[in-house]
Amino acid sequence: MKLREVAERLGLEFLVAADPEAEVRGGYVSDLLSDVLAHAEAGDLWITHQRHLNVVAVAKLRGVAGVVLARGLRPGPETLQRAQQEGVNLLTSPADAFDTAGRLHRLLAP
């Protein structure tokens, strides 16, 4: 499913829409960067509470479809700018990580 459609269905807000047509194949929830590097899959939507600059590097290295900040969290201008530069989709979800992941799972594996 395209990220654009996932965002609509889950009520996610795009903070950086680098490639809304990216294909979302799954999801991963973690706040540990090395854990994401080790276990997230390319095409996953990464749900996290981390919002500093290095999140962009990890997202790009792992090839995730996008980063979703839980609980309506928003990053500072530096992170937004880096995500734009690197072409990383960045979104925020009004729901907490549990609900966001649950809804995503229902959407992708009904």
Residues in contact with other proteins by CB under 8 A are 31-35, 37-38, 48, 50, 52-58, 60-63, 78, 86
CB of 24: closest distance to other proteins in angstroms?
19
CB of 17: closest distance to other proteins in angstroms?
20
Q: Where are the alpha helices (DSSP H) in the chain?
A: 3-10, 33-39, 54-62, 77-86, 97-108
Among 2, 4, 22, residue whose Cα is nearest residue 12: 4
Nearer to other proteins by Cβ, of 19 and 107: the residue is 19
Relative to beta strand 13-16, strand 90-92 is: antiparallel
Nearer to other proteins by Cβ, of 10 and 97: the residue is 97
CB of 5: closest distance to other proteins in angstroms?
27
Nearer to other proteins by Cβ, of 6 and 56: the residue is 56
Please give the angle made by the CA atoms of 60, 52 and 106, to the nearest 5 degrees. 65
Nearer to other proteins by Cβ, of 10 and 66: the residue is 66
Name the packing angle between helices 54-62 and 77-86 (round to 10°): 30
CB of 54: closest distance to other proteins in angstroms?
5
CA distance 15 to 35: 24
